[in-house]
């Protein structure tokens, strides 16, 4: 009898657990462009100033609920943060394989990191040769440093247009546009249309910095004067219905990842 009660309780618990649509999202790009920082900002709302190189791959998980009139959709995003040094390595194609979304990241203050996206993107195309390409996005990080940018917005738009990429402008440091961008990716993958208020709710509050104007002769930097609302995003709707109906767990790669998360994924 006690056993039966335990089984019933377990079944009830399972019924309460929402079903998650699971997506594998990989972050690619040169070393130090801010991939780990973006994943950390989105999953843990944390930013570390100090650079710690990612060796191989690191994993993050974030569960999000997408609200729509016909019912909520629960999404579990497995974020594969690929170390920038992996580009020449043997394992990189197996990391990319099976991904639903690829986010090509660069640092707007580092022109080379933008140029190298050609190489990263061709690696993605080679991995998916003959198969359906995943959702591919172009993510321009370090928008807080726009006063020392090396990549003009026109260059960004041109690359996105020529390659038909979704486009996001973000700052892992301030958190600007990070959550809305990943929510948008989740929604596009799940085929959910998010309303503007929902996207705004996902925006992290920015920390205000107090500047002493009496001792600062030139005033605050230009980007602080403009505030954070000017960072726009060019978003095109495109739905990929490749969701795997599966419980949320790591990893879900067709081939097991050679390096397990260390420490265990958290969010
Ligand atoms: N100002 C500024 N610094 C950033 C931003 N994002 C990341 N950084 C800094 O850039 C450095 C590199 O960031 P990481 O996230 O470690 O870069 P990564 O792309 O993961 O690098 P690899 O692991 O080598 O591939 C760190 O010192 C971060 O603090 C940003 O949006 N603004
Ligand atoms: Mg890293």
How confident is the model over 87-109, as pLDDT tens digits? 888 899 999 999 999 999 999 99
- Asked whether the beta carbons of 85 and 52 are under 8 A apart, the reply is no
Q: Is 171 in the pocket of ligand 1 (CB under 6 A)?
A: yes
Q: How many residues does the chain have?
A: 267
Q: Is 84 in the pocket of ligand 1 (CB under 6 A)?
A: yes
- Asked whether the beta carbons of 84 and 30 are under 8 A apart, the reply is yes
Give the per-residue pLDDT at 234. Answer: 32
Token pair for 240: 């990929």
Q: Which of 53, 60, 51 is nearest to 26 (CA)?
A: 60
Q: Which of 242, 117, 135, 260 is nearest to 185 (CA)?
A: 135
Q: Is 49 in the pocket of ligand 1 (CB under 6 A)?
A: yes
Q: Is 149 in the pocket of ligand 1 (CB under 6 A)?
A: no
Name the residue of 29, 36, 40 to mutate for ligand 1: max ligand atoms within 8 A of Cβ. 36
Give the per-residue pLDDT at 169. Answer: 98
pLDDT > 50? residue 200: yes
How confident is the model over 116-135, as pLDDT tens digits? 999 999 999 999 999 999 99
- Asked whether the beta carbons of 225 and 219 are under 8 A apart, the reply is yes
How confident is the model over 18-53, as pLDDT tens digits? 889 999 999 999 999 999 999 999 999 999 999 999
Our measurement of the distance from residue 1's CA atom to the centroid of its chain's CA atoms, rounded to an integer in Å, reads 48
Backbone angles phi, psi at 231, to 5 degrees: -75, 115
List residues bridging with 21 in a β-sheet.
Answer: 75, 245
Q: Dihedral, CA atoms, 151, 41, 258, 118, nearest 10 degrees?
A: -10
Name the residue of 26, 33, 36, 37 to mutate for ligand 1: max ligand atoms within 8 A of Cβ. 37
CA angle 60, 205, 141 (to 5 degrees): 55
> Mutual orientation of helices 178-190 and 35-44 as an angle, nearest 10°?
80
Name the residue of 34, 103, 105 to mutate for ligand 1: max ligand atoms within 8 A of Cβ. 34
Q: Which residue has the tokens 């640092």?
A: 107
How confident is the model over 216-225, as pLDDT tens digits? 333 333 333 3
Q: Whose CA is nearest to atom 30 of ligand 1?
A: 142
Q: Dihedral, CA atoms, 190, 199, 78, 135, nearest 10 degrees?
A: 50
Average pLDDT over residues 126-149: 97
Token pair for 72: 């909520």
Q: Is 35 in the pocket of ligand 1 (CB under 6 A)?
A: yes
Q: Is 173 in the pocket of ligand 1 (CB under 6 A)?
A: yes
Give the per-residue pLDDT at 17. Answer: 74
pLDDT > 60? residue 83: yes
Give the 3-state secondary structure of residue 94.
helix
Report d(CA 64, CA 183) in Å as an integer: 8
End-to-end CA distance of the chain: 38
Token pair for 120: 């990263």
Q: Is 170 in the pocket of ligand 1 (CB under 6 A)?
A: no
Q: Is 108 in the pocket of ligand 1 (CB under 6 A)?
A: no
Residue ranges of alpha helices (H) inside the chain are 2-16, 35-44, 92-96, 111-115, 117-127, 153-163, 178-190, 196-201, 222-226
Q: Whose CA is nearest to atom 29 of ligand 1?
A: 49
DSSP single-letter state for residue 208: P
Counting ligands in written order, which one lies closest to the CA of residue 38? 1
């Amino acid at each position: 009898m006690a056993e039966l009660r335990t089984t019933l309780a377990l079944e009830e618990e399972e019924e309460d657990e929402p079903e998650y649509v699971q997506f594998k999202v990989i972050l690619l790009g040169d070393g130090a462009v801010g991939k780990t920082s973006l994943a950390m900002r989105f999953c843990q709302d944390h930013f570390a100033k100090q650079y710690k190189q990612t060796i191989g791959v690191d994993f993050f998980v974030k569960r999000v609920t997408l609200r729509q009139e016909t019912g909520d959709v629960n999404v579990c995003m497995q974020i594969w943060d690929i170390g920038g040094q992996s580009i020449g390595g043997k394992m990189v194609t197996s990391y990319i394989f099976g991904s639903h979304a690829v986010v090509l990241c660069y640092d707007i203050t580092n022109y080379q990191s933008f140029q190298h996206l050609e190489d990263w993107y061709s690696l993605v195309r080679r991995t998916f040769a003959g198969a359906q390409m995943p959702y591919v996005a172009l993510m321009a990080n370090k928008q807080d440093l726009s006063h020392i940018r090396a990549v003009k917005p026109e260059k960004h738009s041109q690359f996105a247009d020529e390659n038909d990429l979704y486009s996001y402008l973000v700052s892992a440091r301030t958190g600007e546009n990070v959550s809305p961008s990943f929510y948008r990716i989740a929604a596009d993958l799940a085929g959910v249309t998010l309303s503007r208020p929902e996207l705004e709710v996902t925006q992290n509050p920015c920390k205000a910095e107090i500047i002493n104007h009496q001792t600062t002769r030139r005033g605050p930097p230009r980007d602080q004067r403009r505030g954070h609302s000017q960072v726009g995003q060019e978003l095109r709707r495109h739905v990929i219905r490749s969701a795997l109906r599966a419980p949320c767990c790591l990893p879900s790669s067709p081939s097991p990842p050679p390096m397990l998360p260390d420490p265990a994924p958290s969010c």
